[in-house]
Amino acid sequence: MAVRAQISLIANDEVGELAALFTWLRATPDLEGGVRSQSRTPGPGELGGGLETLNLALGTTASIVALAQALAAWLQSRRRSKLKLTITTPDGRTLELEAADSARAEELITELLRRDDGTDV
């Protein structure tokens, strides 16, 4: 069963930080092909829409663990930044993390997403 989720960010430079996270996750071998970006619709006078969310489709327990580890490491790398990362599952469950939460991030993300794939935490 594929686990699906969406990642959004609140930050001073939301588009830049989300693009950096997208690059970080795509460089994670166990997530290959499981991370897609979604842009918002361009507003009046804009040539293109900015990056809005990242969509995840994870097919294995290994990919859930890889995502949790990658997000925890990314948050750790941003510990001086003021940002909030939100992961939302299709059934509406959410997990909000700030850079200061990086120590527990891996555990919390794994718990959230493993509920979706039916495996024990």
What one-character DSSP code corresponds to residue 59? -
Backbone angles phi, psi at 72, to 5 degrees: -60, -45
- Residue 55's domain is classified under what CATH number? 3.30.70
Domain hosting residue 28, numbered range: 3-117
Backbone angles phi, psi at 27, to 5 degrees: -85, -5
What is the rounded CA–CA span in Å between residue 96 and residue 74?
15
Q: What angle do CA 7, 109, 27 make, to 5 degrees?
A: 60
What is the rounded CA–CA span in Å between residue 53 and residue 71?
15
Total of domains in the chain: 1
Tens-binned pLDDT, residue by residue, of the chain (121 aa): 588 999 999 988 888 899 999 999 999 988 988 999 887 776 677 666 667 889 999 988 899 999 999 999 999 998 888 899 999 999 999 999 998 888 899 999 999 998 755 554 4
